Amino acid sequence: MSLPGCVAVIGAGPAGLMAAETIAAAGVAVTVFERMSSPGRKLLMAGRGGLNLTHSEALPALLERYGPARERLQAAIAGLPPAALIAWCEGLGQPTFIGSSGRVFPHGLKASPLLRAWLARLGGLGVGLRTRLTWTGWDEAGALVFSGGIRERPRATVLALGGASWPRLGSDGGWTGRLPGIDVRPLRPANCGFLLAWSAPFLRFAGTPLKRIALSFAGRTVRGEAMVTRSGIEGGAVYALSAALRDAIAAGGPVVATLDLRPDLDAATLARRLGGTRGSASLSNYLRKAAGLSPVAIGLVQEALHAGAPPDLPALIKAVPLRLLAPASSERAISSAGGITLDELDARWMLRRRPGVFAAGEMLDWEAPTGGYLLQACFALGAAAGRGVLAWLAEQD
């Protein structure tokens, strides 16, 4: 089967499907190729946590969340800003609401109704979908090659192959070796947990949440929650600092972050509460009654004391040292960093060294914190690549 006059989109995640919709809405035939048996696997996984589509903060503040990639992503996100993404979602019959933190969610808090409605719209636009086909590169004649020896020669191609997080859902980063001559930075976990060497007694707290804590590293403090795992720690407060932690570990090995177990109390107040004598009370009971610590928080204090931390309880409660050994694997990371460097793409999101080939989504070298910023950029980059395809096709015609 050939695709004369058609556009191929490789990858049926948010970026790929948005590119397909943008192109098909202009009357251009599109076929989406997906290596998994069904589209939108990672979108459905994101929906298990409530499907945080975007964030309601003003656009200048939102753009700052993209760090060094801000300037390059600005035009794409301005082309599909949060208000437009919300309108798109509601146009699919999925009303939205803004949570207390400013995050935007569909009322149903699930991805499956949105994905069903989206696929129905794409079908109505004539978008084709071919699953269980893995893209393996190009042949000598420039045709796309897929598993099973299938070859296609579209007029333009959009690559939306994802990063390397949650690889069992389809994005395993295997594409990085299929772009000869293109600058691709190694894919690394982002918004990820970290490995620690817990003692055997402390492992009983694996799976226990740490609520109302604050994590600090390199002069930055984030309040939130975390989760103790058998291999380390993960959760929102950890994810917010994960880029800085990951890069520091890569530069110099294990680092120490500090955990404030009572960020609502200052050290002086804690000192007064802990100023009495313990008497016959165990350390656990003393910390529970005087400092109001949970069992897992008490376990962290004891873990630090056993590791040789000074026995200044108020100071220790305010800054439990956590020696982070390495980022957790990409298999549980929410997203990934690295990918095609942004300088490899022109203003239309076309690869400078491969005319007619565009790229979008998480396979590009940018990262952002959780809170709606990841999906916002993926949707916006897909739409931008779709507009780029239309502009390029118009030039060719």
Q: For all residues of the chain together, what is the average pLDDT?
A: 91
Domains and CATH numbers, the chain: 7-189+331-396 (3.50.50.60), 194-327 (2.40.30.10)
DSSP code at position 136: E
Cross-strand partners of 260: 214
Of residues 232, 242, 213, the one with CA closest to residue 374: 242
Nearest 10 degrees: Cα torsion 327, 330, 336, 341 = 100
Of residues 202, 206, 189, the one with CA closest to residue 246: 189
**Rounded to whole angstroms, how far apart are CA atoms 51 and 115?**
11
Calculate the alpha carbon distances from 346 to 11, 218, 311, 394 in Å: 21, 35, 58, 16
47 pLDDT band, cuts 50/70/90, is low
**Rounded to whole angstroms, how far apart are CA atoms 32 and 252?**
43
Rounded to an integer, the average pLDDT of 335-349 is 95
2 pLDDT band, cuts 50/70/90, is very low
With beta carbons less than 8 A apart as the criterion, state whether 130 and 33 touch: yes
Nearest 10 degrees: Cα torsion 384, 388, 394, 397 = -150
**Rounded to whole angstroms, how far apart are CA atoms 28 and 390?**
8
1 pLDDT band, cuts 50/70/90, is very low
Rounded to an integer, the average pLDDT of 320-332 is 91
Identify the H or E element spanning 372. none
**Rounded to whole angstroms, how far apart are CA atoms 73 and 384?**
10
**Rounded to whole angstroms, how far apart are CA atoms 218 and 195?**
18
Q: How many other CB atoms are found less than 10 A from the CB of residue 267?
A: 15
With beta carbons less than 8 A apart as the criterion, state whether 316 and 305 touch: yes
AA identity, residue 85: L
Identify the H or E element spanning 102. none
Calculate the alpha carbon distances from 199 to 163, 306, 315 in Å: 34, 9, 22
**Secondary structure class of 351 (helix, strand, coil):** strand
- Residue 155: CB partners within 8 Å, gap ≥ 6? 3, 4, 5, 6, 7, 356, 393, 396
User: Between 100 and 30, where is the model more confident?
Assistant: 30
**Rounded to whole angstroms, how far apart are CA atoms 127 and 7?**
10
**Rounded to whole angstroms, how far apart are CA atoms 371 and 120?**
27
Tell the burial category of 25 from Cβ atoms under 10 Å away from its Cβ (0-12, 13-18, 19+). middle
**Secondary structure class of 345 (helix, strand, coil):** strand
Between 107-111, 244-248, 384-388, the lowest mean confidence (pLDDT) is in 107-111
pLDDT of residue 246: 95
pLDDT of residue 280: 66
Between 147-151, 175-179, 287-291, the lowest mean confidence (pLDDT) is in 287-291
Flag whether pLDDT at 35 surpasses 70. Answer: yes
The model's pTM: 0.89
- Residue 53: CB partners within 8 Å, gap ≥ 6? 85, 86, 89, 96, 104, 105, 106, 372, 375, 376
**Secondary structure class of 28 (helix, strand, coil):** coil
pLDDT of residue 32: 97
Rounded to an integer, the average pLDDT of 258-276 is 87
With beta carbons less than 8 A apart as the criterion, state whether 36 and 59 touch: no
